[in-house]
């Protein structure tokens, strides 16, 4: 979402965005639009008619005293108002329906698209802001269409009708009053330029504001623990003030049109009355024509002003619509190859063959890493924080594409198989167990949608979760709070392990939790993990010494390079090795390991998950 394009919007861009919205959605609404346009034309026609009939009202009824025409004239005026009322209603309801349906469509489309975008996009985007921006902008698309249609069909047609009435009644006066057109158009164009930048800034600041509020409330426990309330309040205060200031600037600029329009209109109306008054007193003309003319002029003022303003409103809507298309036009990366086949797992052997990767082009994170995670065995990856362990796990799931080398599962390069089949063969247990809105049962079932209830309960049993689930108010049908706040850390971990068991995938990726659990939870989580690791190819980012010691193979990463591999005993046998050295010095702490032989509840990795998420990735373009 680049801010620098804000100043380059051209009027014809409005047309091109509208054309695109229509091309993508218009066909489905065709008859709705036809109906709305008919209604709008009726509104415009009846408005012009009321101005036109004024001449007869004045001349026939009041000047010539034609009593026989009173009923006819009054009836036609009444009829015009009735038609206008019904048509206004029909038009408004139809346009609102189209608008609401458009909003619904774009919401769905955006969500679907967001789900398909790559990890690079999310590395660069804050989720709260994204949600706020989507919400704010979607309404812009609706406004853009209904505004164009209303202004063109109702106001423009009304204006044409009324100007026609004016010209028919008095061409000279018409020419005189239309003189205010050019200065009005110039004023609008000038204001528009000033408005464009402020509008875009306002949308961005507002979404930052809403996003910041959302993040602060999500992290409320940290906020309170670190007494960050005042600091955050000040920071939000800055955004609040900026948003207010932008909103005021937009109001000042866009409302400036009103005094300009009023002055010009006052000039036209008084000019017309002065000239017509002179003609009536000196030339003795009947007053009907002038009355009809002035009525048309006064009636024309509103649509003309609205038409002038519509561009102001459209400007905002255009900014919104463009921001939406900026998201929709992002191409999801990691496409499946055109001839991609489904991954066929026989044994589940994973080979990393000389892989290199960097998030940014000039900063390699992994360099020429080769090792084999043998089928059905456990491979532990150890290394200090920042060594590239999480990156390795992300690459195996093809969240990013490699710079060099290949990852091969049972002889098949993962870049040549479908992502769906690849990820379907992997069960992933993240360090931060994430629960989604829904019941406990739903959350386990996300592992495999086809899982029967019995399978879910069996998996929960294996994950040592069945007991506490049954103690919940509605058992398996208990709704989890946002991010599972009603469950303890250990319980959440066991739910996410149950999800992995239900998935029943041949390859298990495990990012071991570093956070402290109480002794009992810890033991239960380890037991649950033992179940799911059984007879699966397991690759684990190991933080616990016991995991490492029991692994079939240990891979030691240091600054993106594989420096050693072997079993615990083999690695210890080389007294000069990285692993042995660290192990000797501080029980593995230099490798980010927790010595859990005792209680297993130390906090060894200070790296908070939040810092992981907020790292910026210059490679977004490549991976989004």
Least Å from the CB of residue 332 to ligand ADP: 17
- Pick from 267, 293, 290, 295: which is nearest to 279 by CA? 290
Question: Which of these ranges, 26-34, 95-103, 349-357, 388-396, lies near ligand ADP under the rule CB under 6 A?
Answer: 388-396
Closer of 248 and 385 to ligand ADP (Cβ):
385
Rounded Cα distance between 387 and 555, Å, is: 12
**Binding of residue 383 to ligand ADP (CB under 6 A):** yes
Least Å from the CB of residue 394 to ligand ADP: 7
Cα torsion angle, 272, 277, 279, 284, sign: positive
Rounded Cα distance between 113 and 107, Å, is: 10
Closer of 80 and 624 to ligand ADP (Cβ):
624
- CA dihedral 67→72→78→82, nearest 10 degrees, is 180
Determine which residue in the list 99, 140, 313, 388 makes contact with ligand ADP, applying CB under 6 A.
388
Least Å from the CB of residue 390 to ligand ADP: 3
Using CB under 6 A, count the residues that bind ligand ADP: 13
Least Å from the CB of residue 557 to ligand ADP: 7
Question: Which of these ranges, 100-108, 385-393, 413-421, 579-587, lies near ligand ADP under the rule CB under 6 A?
Answer: 385-393
Rounded Cα distance between 160 and 531, Å, is: 78
**Binding of residue 333 to ligand ADP (CB under 6 A):** no
Question: How buried is 413 (Cβ within 10 angstroms: 0-12 exposed, 13-18 middle, 19+ buried)?
Answer: middle
Within 391-410, the residues that bind ligand ADP by CB under 6 A are: 391
Question: Which of these ranges, 86-94, 380-388, 414-422, 502-510, lies near ligand ADP under the rule CB under 6 A?
Answer: 380-388
| ∠ Cα 204 210 215 (to 5°) | 120
Rounded Cα distance between 20 and 33, Å, is: 16
Least Å from the CB of residue 362 to ligand ADP: 12
Within 53-92, the residues that bind ligand ADP by CB under 6 A are: none
Give the CA radius of gyration of the chain.
35
Determine which residue in the list 246, 367, 389, 543 makes contact with ligand ADP, applying CB under 6 A.
389
Q: Which residues are 130's β-sheet partners?
A: none
- Determine the 3-state secondary structure of 565 from DSSP: strand
- Determine the 3-state secondary structure of 158 from DSSP: helix
Least Å from the CB of residue 404 to ligand ADP: 16
Least Å from the CB of residue 615 to ligand ADP: 4
Question: Which of these ranges, 49-57, 156-164, 378-386, 483-491, lies near ligand ADP under the rule CB under 6 A?
Answer: 378-386
Closer of 383 and 506 to ligand ADP (Cβ):
383
Closer of 49 and 359 to ligand ADP (Cβ):
359
* The residue count for the chain: 624
Cα torsion angle, 468, 472, 477, 481, sign: negative
Question: Which of these ranges, 326-334, 383-391, 447-455, 515-523, lies near ligand ADP under the rule CB under 6 A?
Answer: 383-391
Question: Which of these ranges, 98-106, 203-211, 386-394, 478-486, lies near ligand ADP under the rule CB under 6 A?
Answer: 386-394
Within 260-299, the residues that bind ligand ADP by CB under 6 A are: none
- Pick from 547, 571, 590: which is nearest to 383 by CA? 590
Q: What share of the chain is helix, strand, coil (3-state, %, to 5)?
A: 65, 10, 25
Closer of 322 and 389 to ligand ADP (Cβ):
389
Least Å from the CB of residue 400 to ligand ADP: 9
Q: Are 265 and 183 in contact (CB under 8 A)?
A: no
Question: Which of these ranges, 16-24, 153-161, 384-392, 416-424, lies near ligand ADP under the rule CB under 6 A?
Answer: 384-392
| Backbone φ and ψ of 534, nearest 5° | -55, 120
If you write DSSP's letter for every residue of 384-428 in order, what string do you get? STTSSHHHHHHHHTTSS--SEEEEEETTEEGGGB-HHHHHHTEEE
Determine which residue in the list 129, 146, 311, 390 makes contact with ligand ADP, applying CB under 6 A.
390
Closer of 64 and 613 to ligand ADP (Cβ):
613
Within 335-374, the residues that bind ligand ADP by CB under 6 A are: 359, 365
Determine which residue in the list 123, 137, 295, 491 makes contact with ligand ADP, applying CB under 6 A.
123
Determine which residue in the list 94, 397, 617, 624 makes contact with ligand ADP, applying CB under 6 A.
617
Question: Which of these ranges, 109-117, 382-390, 440-448, 577-585, lies near ligand ADP under the rule CB under 6 A?
Answer: 382-390
Question: How buried is 46 (Cβ within 10 angstroms: 0-12 exposed, 13-18 middle, 19+ buried)?
Answer: buried
Determine which residue in the list 387, 462, 509, 548 makes contact with ligand ADP, applying CB under 6 A.
387
Rounded Cα distance between 464 and 490, Å, is: 10
**Binding of residue 431 to ligand ADP (CB under 6 A):** no
Determine which residue in the list 90, 271, 386, 566 makes contact with ligand ADP, applying CB under 6 A.
386
Closer of 212 and 542 to ligand ADP (Cβ):
542
- Pick from 305, 282, 317: which is nearest to 137 by CA? 317
Q: Which residues are 438's β-sheet partners?
A: 480
- The residue behind tokens 């009304």 is 158
CA neighbours within 13 Å on the CB side: how many for 623? 25
Count CB neighbours of 598 within 10 A: 8
Closer of 462 and 540 to ligand ADP (Cβ):
540
Rounded Cα distance between 542 and 528, Å, is: 16
Closer of 128 and 388 to ligand ADP (Cβ):
388
Least Å from the CB of residue 129 to ligand ADP: 17
Determine which residue in the list 385, 519, 535, 614 makes contact with ligand ADP, applying CB under 6 A.
385
Supply 476's token pair.
């398996």
Binding site for ligand ADP (CB under 6 A): 123, 359, 365, 383, 385-391, 615, 617
């Amino acid at each position: 979402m680049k801010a620098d394009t804000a100043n380059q919007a051209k009027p014809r861009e409005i047309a091109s965005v509208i054309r695109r919205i229509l091309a993508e959605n218009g066909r489905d609404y065709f008859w709705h639009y036809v109906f709305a346009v008919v209604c709008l034309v009726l509104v415009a026609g009846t408005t012009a008619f009321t101005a036109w009939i004024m001449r007869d009202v004045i001349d026939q009824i009041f000047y010539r005293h034609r009593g026989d025409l009173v009923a006819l004239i009054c009836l036609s005026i009444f009829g015009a108002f009735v038609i206008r009322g019904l048509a206004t209603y029909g038009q408004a309801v139809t346009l609102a329906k189209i608008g609401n349906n458009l909003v619904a469509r774009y919401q769905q489309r955006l969500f679907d698209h967001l789900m398909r975008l790559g990890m690079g996009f999310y590395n660069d985007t804050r989720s709260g802001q994204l949600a706020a921006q989507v919400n704010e902008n979607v309404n812009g698309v609706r406004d853009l269409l209904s505004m164009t249609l209303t202004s063109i069909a109702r106001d423009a047609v009304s204006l044409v009708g009324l100007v026609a009435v004016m010209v028919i009644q008095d061409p000279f006066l018409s020419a005189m009053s239309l003189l205010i057109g050019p200065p009005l158009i110039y004023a609008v164009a000038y204001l528009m330029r000033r408005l464009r930048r402020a509008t875009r800034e306002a949308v961005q600041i507002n979404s930052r504001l809403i996003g910041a509020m959302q993040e602060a409330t999500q992290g409320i426990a940290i906020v309170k623990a670190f007494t960050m309330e005042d600091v955050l309040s000040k920071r939000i205060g800055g955004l609040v003030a900026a948003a207010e200031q932008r909103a005021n600037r937009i109001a000042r600029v866009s409302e400036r049109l009103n005094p300009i329009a009023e002055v010009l209109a006052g000039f036209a109306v008084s000019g017309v009355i002065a000239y017509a008054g002179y003609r009536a007193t000196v030339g003795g003309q009947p007053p009907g024509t002038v009355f009809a003319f002035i009525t048309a002029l006064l009636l024309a003022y509103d649509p003309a002003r609205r038409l002038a303003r519509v561009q102001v409103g459209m400007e905002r809507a255009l900014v919104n619509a463009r921001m939406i298309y900026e998201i929709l036009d992002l191409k999801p990366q990691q496409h499946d190859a055109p001839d991609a086949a489904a991954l066929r797992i026989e044994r589940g052997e994973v080979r990393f063959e000389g892989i290199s990767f960097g998030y940014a082009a000039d900063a390699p994170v992994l360099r020429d890493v080769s090792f084999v995670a043998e089928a059905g065995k456990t491979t532990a990856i150890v290394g200090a924080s920042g060594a590239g362990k999480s990156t390795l796990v992300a690459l195996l799931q093809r969240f990013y594409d490699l710079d060099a080398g290949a990852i091969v599962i049972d002889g098949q390069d993962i870049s040549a198989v479908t992502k769906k089949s690849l990820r379907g063969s992997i069960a992933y247990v993240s360090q931060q167990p994430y629960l989604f809105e829904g019941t406990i049962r739903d959350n386990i079932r996300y592992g495999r949608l086809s899982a029967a209830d019995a399978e879910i309960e069996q998996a929960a049993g294996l994950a040592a979760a069945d007991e506490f689930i049954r103690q919940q108010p509605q058992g398996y049908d208990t709704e989890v709070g946002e991010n599972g706040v009603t469950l303890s850390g250990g319980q959440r971990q066991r739910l996410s392990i149950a999800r992995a068991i239900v998935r029943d995938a041949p390859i298990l990726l495990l990012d071991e939790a570093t956070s402290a659990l109480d002794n009992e939870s810890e033991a239960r989580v380890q037991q649950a993990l033992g179940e799911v690791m059984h007879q699966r190819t397991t690759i684990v980012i190991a933080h616990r010494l016991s995991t490492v010691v029991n692994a079939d193979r240990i891979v030691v990463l240091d600054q993106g390079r594989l420096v050693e591999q072997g079993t615990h005993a083999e690695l210890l046998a080389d007294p000069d090795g990285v692993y042995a050295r660290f192990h000797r010095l501080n029980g593995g702490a230099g490798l980010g390991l927790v010595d859990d032989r005792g209680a297993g509840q130390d906090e060894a990795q200070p790296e908070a998950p939040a810092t992981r998420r907020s790292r910026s990735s210059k490679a977004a373009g490549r991976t989004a």
